Amino acid sequence: MPKSKIGTIEAIMLVLTIVVAHSVLSMPTNILSSYKSASILNVIYVSIIAIAISYFIYRLFKNFPSMDIVDISELVGGKVFRNLVGIVFIVYFILSAALMLRNFCESIQILYFPMTDITFIMSLLVIAICMANKLNFSATVKTNVIILPIALFGVLFLFFTNINRFVPERMFPILGEGAFNTFVLGLTNLASFGGIAYIYFLPPLLKDSTKFKKITLISIAATAIYLIFTIATLLFIFTFFTNVSEISPLYTATRYIEFGTFFQRLESVFLLIWILVFACYLSIVCKFSMNIFQKITGISNQKPLIDIFGLLILAISLIPKNLAVSQSFESKVFPYLMIGIVLVLGIVILLFANIVKKKQIYNANTVNNTIYNRKELPNE
């Protein structure tokens, strides 16, 4: 069994890393400012849809065990289409990771390194992911299994330690700015489930491909629970985030945690955990992008690609002029990119692949029946 194969828990944690990394940035702010008091209802609503979509994806993958979306796209449209799909997913992964890196590092710079150039802060994370990927993918995955439960526990901790500050009435009016805004326009919030994109590439990486259903459903359900806790914490503590600083809302929430005069300023611990989660996220993105690149180019060794992809992420993250530009990507471009590429393109490819597969099976059965009938004819 190759070393890069991952187990069930590792795969679930891998998918969860994506949402944790995104939630540290302005994703919760976008949800709260768009759906206001209906944020929790909207998250529950999109969670149900996301679970249904992930089950549908599992069903579509059932006919293609140990194949990812790039392999499947080759069945649909040949090598050219496979390369096209591969490039689209690489662009999606690299672009989103690079701009998230920029947003995250901007926050770190504002908080702790005001006099340091942002390039150096980003370089540190990029060097970390290059080194992690050079070790082996299992190094990243195992680190993730240690770090992510701490981050998940952190959100529960945040929820329960701030419970005395909660104003549950803030979830009323329950429909926020109306049913249309919550349920129709609110569908764009499916972008919060960015982990679905990585599910497309999981089957070949799994130690036991029969656990794919379990992994898919548990990871999306866990993502939903995590999001509900995050949004509930922020909604019940703060009025709204539209007018507050551009620092991560979760970070702002951690500043409220105090246990008397003895135990204060826990935000530094949270930030340390989030930095580690973010490094794992970038490492996962880098690995998945290299996997796709290897598939479409057919190169035998991935190692020379590590530095190139690391530099690519760094270079793209340097493009935005300031935090406002990179944040506008996160709030205005990323949701549509995720829905377009992951939910529409991915599912359409899987649907066509299933149709092609069924046709192939039907044709094979027809040929078999014809041969069988021809064999039986002389006896008659």
Would you call 172 exposed, middle or buried from its count of C-beta atoms within 10 A (0-12, 13-18, 19+)? exposed
User: Nearest to residue 280, comparing CAs of 151, 366, 117?
Assistant: 151
Tell me the closest approach of the beta carbon of residue 249 to another protein, in angstroms: 12
Indicate whether 134 belongs to the interface with another protein (CB under 8 A).
Answer: no
Tell me the closest approach of the beta carbon of residue 338 to another protein, in angstroms: 30
Comparing CB distances to another protein, the nearer of 124 and 187 is: 124
| Interface with another protein (CB under 8 A), residue from 62, 65, 66, 120 | 120
Tell me the closest approach of the beta carbon of residue 111 to another protein, in angstroms: 6
Q: Within a 13 Å sphere around the CA of 221, how many CA atoms are in the beta-carbon half? A: 7
| Interface with another protein (CB under 8 A), residue from 52, 62, 112, 136 | 112
Indicate whether 127 belongs to the interface with another protein (CB under 8 A).
Answer: yes
Site track 71-110 with another protein (rule: CB under 8 A), x = hit: ---------------------------------------x
Indicate whether 336 belongs to the interface with another protein (CB under 8 A).
Answer: no
- What are the tokens at 160? 């329960």
Comparing CB distances to another protein, the nearer of 130 and 341 is: 130
Tell me the closest approach of the beta carbon of residue 275 to another protein, in angstroms: 14
Q: Which of residues 253-272 bind another protein (CB under 8 A)?
A: 255-256, 258, 261
Site track 208-247 with another protein (rule: CB under 8 A), x = hit: -----------------------------xxxx--xxx-x
Q: Where along the sequence are the contacts to another protein (CB under 8 A)?
A: 110-117, 120, 123-124, 127, 237-240, 243-245, 247, 252, 255-256, 258, 261
